[in-house]
Structure 1
Amino acid sequence: MPASDFASRRSSREAARSAGGVAELLDLMWERTGQATAGAPASPSQLRLMYLVESEEGVRMRVVCEQLAAAPPSVSRLCDRLQAIGFLERLPCPTSGREVTLRLTAAGRTHLRHIRERRETVLRQAMDAMSDAERHALAEGLAGLHAQLVAARGDIGTSGVKREVGVPGGTSAA
């Protein structure tokens, strides 16, 4: 193996290890942020379900089960809890009487918006301490990583939501 290939693979491993560490730290921070949000707290599993429903309004519960790789009874219990706190509605499927579709309520959409605002504040505070060159390199690196992850796992996108790099707070359906 040429030395440049070895160095490139080592560099990729180090970058992946670093990204994994950042992801773990963000997971902890996001969980704390979700708990600090006004209103009823939602667990990480409930938030994942909410992101999926948000990305595809009126999604069938069967599709959510597939995307979460979870059994229908587990997803149904998540929906029960979200419905009890007023974040989710279950509606009959217009094309199949046997299926149920899911939709976020206004309170559910507001809850996600508040969580995103708090998360973006935490990130912005950290990034404000970085130099312009570091922020630019981070944005380019994240855009490349995002593109590769979506290409490799296009069926799930990124938690059901595609963030537009370079667009403050920009989102679009995955």
Structure 2
Amino acid sequence: MSPRPDPDALGFVLIDVARMLRSAFERRIATAGLGLTPGEARTLVRIATLEGSRQLDIAQRMGIEPMTLSTYLDRLQSLGFIERRPDPVDRRAKLIFTTPAANELIASIRDEQIDLMQHVTSGIGTADIEVMRGQLKQLRANLVALEEDSSALALVKEAIR
């Protein structure tokens, strides 16, 4: 067995595909004439899927810094596509919602995503795509559990100190 890592190992392939898919999406959005940057488009789509979530939760789900998200939110709000509402549970936090003005833009972004994914998945059958989706969702769930376990372990270690 070679001591060198296998570039086709599942982890490497997943990372490569995710990076390449994100780049392809960003190129499409940049050239689609939507009037948004790719980061703003990703943010708007994420808000639409996490309607009413806190800013911090959205940033974590996107894997970006809260300040980066705040910049995207400021722009999307100035364009009338999102609104920030106070969190009734935590006065310091804001809940983020899309506005009706964003619906057409979200649909256009979604059209770009669908078209891109049709190209990316060409040659793969519908049933295989569904199996892959299920398996990737399981990987995601496993990683969430691992993150939660790591967070719990860190809290225990901190409490012991």
TM tier, shorter chain? 0.5 to 0.7
Q: Which amino acid aligns with 2:94?
A: V
- 2:50 maps to 1:56: yes
Matched, 1:152 2:143: yes
**Unpaired segments ≥5 residues, structure 1:** 157-174
SS at match of 1:122: helix
Q: 1:119 aligned to 91, 113, 121, which one?
A: 113
The match for 1:19 is 14
If the length of structure 1 is used for normalisation, what is the TM-score?
0.62
Task: Return closer, same or farther for 1:57/1:30 CA change in 2, 3 Å cut-off.
Answer: same
Q: For residues 11-60 of structure 1, what are the alpha-carbon distances to aligned partners after superposition, in whole Å with 9 as ceiling and x for unaligned?
A: 971x433333332321221001212334321332x344334422332222
Q: Cα 1:32–1:93, aligned 2, differ >3 Å: closer, same or farther?
A: same
Contact 1:40–1:85 under 8 Å retained in 2: no
Q: Percent identity?
A: 19
Higher helix share: 2
Return the letter of the residue paired with 1:20.
I
Q: Could you tell me how far apart the structure 1 residues matched to 2:135 and 2:60 are? A: 27
Q: Distance in 2 between matches of 1:69 and 1:99?
A: 19
Higher RCO (CA-CA < 8 Å; seq separation 6+): 1
| CA RMSD of superposed structures (Å) | 3.4
Alpha-carbon offset, residue 120 of structure 1: 1.4
Specify the SS of the correspondent of 1:102: strand
Query: Which residue matches 1:161?
Result: none
- Checking the alignment, whether the CA contact within 8 Å between 2:54 and 2:94 is kept in structure 1 is yes
Question: Within 5 A, what are the aligned runs for 1:11-50?
Answer: 13=9, 15-44=10-39, 46-50=40-44
Q: Runs (4+) of structure 1 moved beyond 6 Å?
A: none
Contact 2:52 2:96 in 1 (8 A): yes
Who is 1:166 aligned against?
none
Q: Deviations over 1:57-103 (max 9, x none)?
A: 22222433444565544432221111122221112333444432211
**Distance change (3 Å), C-alpha of 1:91 and 1:22:** same
* Alignment gaps of 5+ in structure 2: 148-161
> TM-score, normalization: structure 2?
0.66
| Residues 89, 105 of structure 1: 8 Å contact kept | yes
In the aligned structure 1, how far is the partner of 2:88 from the partner of 2:64? 24
Change (3 A) 1:70 1:131: closer
